[in-house]
Amino acid sequence: MDGEAGTTVAERSTAAVDVADNSGDEPLTAKADQSTADGVAKNRERDTEDVEAQGSGGTESPGKTSPPELHSGHKLARRYRLEECVTRLDGFSSWRAVDEKLRRAVGVHLLPADHSRARSVLAAARSSALLGDPRFVQVLDAVEENDLVYVVHEWLPDATELTTLLASGPLEVYDASQMVSQISSAMAAAHREGLAHLRLNPNAVLRTSSGQWRIRGLAVNAALRGINSETPQRTDTEAIGALLYAALTQRWPYESDAYGLSGLPKDIGLIAPDQVRAGVHRGLSELSMRALANDGATASRHETPCTTPEELVKAIAEMPRIRPPEPTFAAPPDYQRTTYQQGTYGRPSAHPGATQPVPAPPPPLQTRTGKALKWAVSALLIAALGLGSWQLADALMEQGNKSDDTGNTKTTDGDDKNSTAPKPVKTLSIENASEFVAKGDAQHPGDVSKTYDGNSSTYWKTSTFLQGPPLEPYKPGVGIVYDLGSAQELSGAGIGLRYSGNHTTAKLYASDSLTPSSLDSMKEIGSVTTNGTTATVKVTKSVKTRYVLVWLTAVPYSAADPTAYSDEGYKQAITDVKFTG
């Protein structure tokens, strides 16, 4: 490719222009984006693409080259460590990774250098990086190295997809207006620089924790998918209209279901949002119809269609301002009167002739007779407790004397095999460990030793899943096989966990090797479910084994954990494991 690996994006900008000019394709204005998990994907098991529900762009046939077979822990340029595969599709893969130089999470798209789209992906990434608009997820690097092309971009652990926001219902009017306003102005700025999106869908629109809306994958994912259009501005404008329509109605404005949203009923055509759901803001409803109008036809009460993001920005500016909702304050608790306020001290004197409120009768047992009765009952209770304690102590002393007499007349042999004295509990040492994978990809095999290094701040963690707590159907479970050095009598295990919540299920299996062939080849010997950060598993039957599998089948929901480069979702991490025998 044009430029050596390791150079900056800015240094390769001239080469990007050459690629666009010499490729024989349309300029990058005709390129667009398709969401492929740029920064907020939470589960590598999830396919980030919904069905094709929005037609206006062409798609090239995928390249014949298979995606590179990489694994967690692989490093690119001795800097970007791959952590979790988010997508593997159409000859490329997308990963969550760690920039070890700057100590931050990043996203990486990977494809073979001989892929039919490799040159267009590099050109799109470099052109997108030059835009530098903070309303877009930023491209940080674009490199060809060792027969690989990879694009590094921002990772936003605090951002939420519009798909996720709409899962619980339509947006509030103010939120919907802010979304369409910010997205429209951002896309208008991109088109002025010759960049288009073409796959602007709910997966590609993110809301940050500060309430700002951002667009991910400008140009890059379109190049990955081979998407183009002869009318890129019209296509992006219609996509913004579809986003607004979905935000107002929680429905997708086409017949096909997509992005977790139900499509419109068949054979009735496109109907305005305020006809789909009651209470929809009329101005925003008309705006979405003006953007969704095809070939100049519109159902938005004969308003002029908007065919470019710039026209959409002007139409939004002409609308009456939509004010944010009034902040709500919790009502203060009722004032509790203290005992010194029961009298008249500090009270304002009543005005002459004013009607005085009738004082409420005292609560039960507040009279003199009631107080005396309470003291009498209390004295009786104290006496009964004292008598009962004395009788209990006397009974225990008699039982102790009997046992002493029995001990004096019975001789015991220290080697008596029938002795019932409990055996002392000892902690078993761990010699080695290995992650066990029953289905799919490994979690973090390089971190298993951190679960028995004596340091509770280190850990082995699972991937983050969208659904839970049970890991099925994604996986039957995840876990680690431990080597105790030799066959040991096992009585239980103590497991330290990083995340609390409902719920974690941990099981113990006896294995015949450090790398068992399957879960069916092992014997379950204990199980526990907990909502805390510790799990104590007791072995139900006495067993002697050298290898023990700690197996997690359910994990709790937890918020984003930036220090662990972990997004919100269902996940768990093991900090310590100790076996007892």
Where do the structural domains in the chain lie, given as residue ranges? 9-325, 427-580
Q: Which helix (H) or strand (E) holds 128?
A: helix 118-131
Between helix 309-318 and helix 232-249 the angle, nearest 10°, is 40
Structure tokens at 266: 């068949």
Question: What confidence score (pLDDT) does residue 566 get?
Answer: 78
User: What is residue 541's three-state secondary structure?
Assistant: strand
**430 close to 540: Cβ distance less than 8 angstroms:** no
Q: DSSP letter string over 180-235? A: HHHHHHHHHHHHHTT---S---GGGEEE-TTS-EEE--TTHHHHHHTEE-S-HHHH
Ranges of residues in the chain with a pLDDT under 70 are 1-68, 293-302, 328-368, 370, 390, 393-394, 396-423
How far is the C-alpha of 52 from the C-alpha of 258, rounded, in Å? Answer: 8
Question: What confidence score (pLDDT) does residue 442 get?
Answer: 84
Question: What confidence score (pLDDT) does residue 484 get?
Answer: 92
The dihedral sign for the CA sequence 337, 330, 557, 212 = negative
User: What is residue 499's three-state secondary structure?
Assistant: coil
Question: What confidence score (pLDDT) does residue 68 get?
Answer: 58
How far is the C-alpha of 164 from the C-alpha of 259, rounded, in Å? Answer: 9
Q: Are strands 534-554 and 478-497 parallel, antiparallel or unpaired?
A: antiparallel
| Residue pLDDT, tens place only, 2-46 | 333 333 333 333 333 333 333 333 333 333 333 333 444 343 333
Question: What confidence score (pLDDT) does residue 356 get?
Answer: 53
Supply the CATH classification number for the domain 427-580: 2.60.120.260
**511 close to 522: Cβ distance less than 8 angstroms:** yes
Q: Of 113, 140, 144, 123, give the one whose Cα is nearest residue 31.
A: 123
- CATH superfamily, domain at 9-325: Transferase(Phosphotransferase) domain 1 (1.10.510.10)
Q: Are strands 160-161 and 148-154 parallel, antiparallel or unpaired?
A: unpaired
Is pTM beyond 0.75 here? Answer: no
In 103-118, which positions are buried (b, 16+ CB within 10 angstroms) versus exposed (e)? eebbbbbbbbbebbbb
Question: What confidence score (pLDDT) does residue 35 get?
Answer: 34
Q: In sequence order, which residues have a C-beta less than 8 Å from that of residue 574 and are 6 or more positions away?
A: 451, 459, 460, 461, 480, 495, 496, 497, 498, 550, 552
| Residue pLDDT, tens place only, 314-342 | 999 999 989 888 776 666 665 555 544 44
How far is the C-alpha of 61 from the C-alpha of 422, rounded, in Å? Answer: 71
Nearest-Å Rg of the Cα atoms of the chain is: 34
Number of neighbours of residue 432 by Cβ within 10 angstroms? 14
Q: Give bridge partners of residue 228 from the DSSP assignment.
A: 31, 58
Q: Of 184, 234, 235, 242, give the one whose Cα is nearest residue 213.
A: 184
